[in-house]
């Protein structure tokens, strides 16, 4: 479903060998800038909290990351920092987020993953407190109707490697994770995919919160319809990201 499109998107993102590496790094930085602006615009900013990362082209052991002390929408190509899989900053001027280990540990054990998003998405956080399965209420809910993992070991921030490893175990081979009373994690082959997954997950949680406040769903999407709809929607991540980029950069969309 998402995987095939993700691989396609990663291939579109640029070569991972030495040739044209500067171009692909510049493109990756631009995608991270746009991801931050999109997430903030879609109400997933939490003041200076929340972060996005993407593995460096041609270097599986280091990744670019939004620095601490700025908002998601304030990311620029020049203020991104470079971090290794130990969670240590190796380049850049600004400080690293305490929760860097969410990213470093997922990227360490998931070679198929090129980007990770962690936000304190408000509807997902509220929904996480209900301890209820996510239902196929709307289109986005259908994407997650088969169930998604929940991290409940702690509601505290993920401030060390051991907690980061626990988060990586919790997401396993899935693409999304709800961190109970805390936030969400999404993992994509590209930052575009991880970003759109975060938006879809938040919208699914928002729809269910509205339904729960009205007494709960009477009808939900059938398994067969959910599978069919997932196949259709999950191929659109790149186009959704492009649209949202146009909306935040030019205001023409």
Over its C-alpha atoms, the chain yields an Rg (Å, rounded) of 17
How near is the Cβ of 35 to Zn ion at its closest, in Å?
16
Q: Which residue is nearest to Zn ion (CB)?
A: 183
Q: Which is nearer to Zn ion, 67 or 183 (CB)?
A: 183
Residue where the block lists tokens 């993102």:
13
> Which stretch of DSSP H or E encloses residue 102?
helix 100-109
How near is the Cβ of 50 to Zn ion at its closest, in Å?
7
Q: Which is nearer to Zn ion, 101 or 241 (CB)?
A: 101
Q: Which residues of 228-237 are buried (b: 16+ CB within 10 A; e: fewer)?
A: ebbeebbeeb
Q: Which residues would be at the binding site for Zn ion (CB under 5 A)? A: 183
How near is the Cβ of 92 to Zn ion at its closest, in Å?
20
Q: Which is nearer to Zn ion, 38 or 184 (CB)?
A: 184
Q: Which is nearer to Zn ion, 99 or 175 (CB)?
A: 99
Q: Which is nearer to Zn ion, 81 or 167 (CB)?
A: 167
DSSP letters, 154-206, are: -SS---SHHHHHHHHHHHTT-SEEEETTTEEEEEESSHHHHHHHHHHHHHHHH
Which class for 1: exposed (0-12), middle (13-18), buried (19 or more C-beta within 10 A)? middle
Token pair belonging to 94: 């600004």
Q: Which is nearer to Zn ion, 146 or 159 (CB)?
A: 159
Residue where the block lists tokens 């850049």:
92
**What 3-state class would DSSP assign to 56?**
strand
How near is the Cβ of 247 to Zn ion at its closest, in Å?
26
């Amino acid at each position: 479903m998402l995987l095939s499109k993700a691989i396609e998107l990663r291939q579109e993102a640029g070569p991972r060998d030495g040739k044209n590496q500067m171009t692909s790094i510049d493109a990756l930085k631009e995608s991270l800038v746009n991801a931050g602006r999109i997430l903030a615009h879609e109400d997933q900013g939490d003041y200076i909290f929340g972060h996005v990362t993407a593995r460096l082209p041609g270097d599986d052991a280091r990744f670019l990351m939004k620095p601490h002390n700025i908002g998601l929408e304030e990311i620029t190509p020049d203020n991104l920092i470079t971090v290794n899989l130990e969670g240590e900053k190796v380049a850049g001027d600004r400080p690293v987020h305490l929760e860097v280990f969410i990213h470093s540990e997922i990227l360490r054990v998931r070679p198929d993953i090129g980007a990770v998003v962690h936000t304190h998405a408000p509807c997902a956080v509220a929904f996480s407190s209900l301890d209820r399965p996510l239902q196929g209420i709307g289109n986005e809910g259908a994407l997650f109707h088969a169930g998604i993992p929940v991290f409940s070991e702690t509601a505290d921030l993920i401030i060390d490697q051991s907690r980061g490893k626990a988060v990586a175990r919790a997401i396993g081979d899935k693409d999304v994770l709800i961190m109970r009373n805390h936030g969400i994690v999404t993992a994509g082959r590209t930052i575009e995919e991880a970003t759109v997954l975060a938006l879809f997950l938040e919208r699914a949680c928002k729809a269910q919160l509205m339904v729960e406040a009205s007494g709960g769903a009477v009808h939900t999407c059938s398994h067969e319809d959910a599978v069919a709809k997932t196949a259709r929607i999950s191929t659109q991540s790149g186009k959704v990201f492009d649209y949202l980029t146009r909306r935040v950069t030019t205001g023409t969309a």
